[in-house]
């Protein structure tokens, strides 16, 4: 899917990011969560685009169809957050998730990160397979760094070791 652009988030993208993430969380996966319960999405530049962090969007036909956040948690470690891809461009044939993750890995290497952690819900089974296929290893909640930003819905955790 060569016409998908992966680029850094700009403040003009804020409403479109919410319009991708909220329906996936609420309608597809039945997670009762609101935009207000995710204050990081209202302050993406401050929350994600600081330190070694970043937030990317995937754009297809002029519309945002994917998101991926990387939160700097200190000690050359980061948390992968808010990875969502719209249903119409999901899957290997479109490669949106893989391209977002490739961009994250390139950024992580460029900035000297050593570990990327993530938390997800048991409901995102396809995401579990995707992360595992891309080199993430499951780990116990107790093994997360203290600085990892836990979400109430997170019940499964992964780590990717760079280098």
Structural domain range at position 43:
5-161
What is the distance between the alpha carbons of residues 94 and 91, in angstroms, rounded to a whole number? Answer: 6
What is the distance between the alpha carbons of residues 35 and 107, in angstroms, rounded to a whole number? Answer: 27
- In the beta sheet, which residues pair with residue 161? 115
Mean pLDDT of the chain: 95
Domains of the chain: total = 1
What is the distance between the alpha carbons of residues 71 and 69, in angstroms, rounded to a whole number? Answer: 6
| pLDDT at residue 93, as a whole number | 87
Task: State the DSSP H helix or E strand holding residue 131, giving kind and residue range, or none if neither.
Answer: helix 125-133
| pLDDT at residue 29, as a whole number | 85
Model confidence band, residue 92 (pLDDT cutoffs 50, 70, 90): confident
| Whether residue 1 has pLDDT greater than 70 | no
Model confidence band, residue 52 (pLDDT cutoffs 50, 70, 90): very high
Q: What is the DSSP string of 52-68?
A: T-EEEEEEETTEEEEEE
CATH of residue 50: 3.40.630.30
- For 3-162, strand residue ranges (E) read 5-8, 54-60, 63-74, 77-85, 115-120, 137-139, 156-161
Identify which has the larger pLDDT, 76 or 123.
Answer: 76
Helix (H, G, I), strand (E, B) or coil at 100: helix
The answer to whether 162 and 104 are in contact (CB under 8 A) is no
| Whether residue 2 has pLDDT greater than 70 | no
pLDDT, one tens digit per residue, over 20-50 is 999 999 999 888 889 999 999 999 999 999 9
């Amino acid at each position: 899917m060569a016409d998908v652009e992966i680029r850094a988030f700009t403040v003009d993208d804020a409403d479109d990011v919410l319009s991708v993430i909220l329906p996936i969380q609420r309608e597809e996966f039945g997670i009762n969560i609101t935009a207000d319960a995710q204050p990081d999405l209202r302050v993406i530049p401050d929350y994600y685009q600081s330190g070694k962090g970043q937030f990317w969007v995937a754009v297809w036909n002029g519309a945002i169809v994917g998101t991926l956040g990387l939160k700097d948690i200190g000690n050359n470690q980061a948390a992968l957050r808010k990875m969502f891809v719209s249903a119409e461009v999901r899957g290997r044939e479109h490669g949106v998730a893989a391209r977002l993750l490739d961009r994250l890995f390139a950024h992580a290497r460029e900035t000297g990160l050593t570990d990327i952690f993530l938390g997800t819900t048991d409901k995102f089974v396809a995401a579990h397979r995707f992360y595992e296929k891309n080199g993430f290893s499951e780990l116990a909640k107790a093994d997360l760094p203290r600085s990892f930003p836990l979400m109430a819905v997170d019940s499964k955790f992964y780590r990717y070791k760079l280098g």
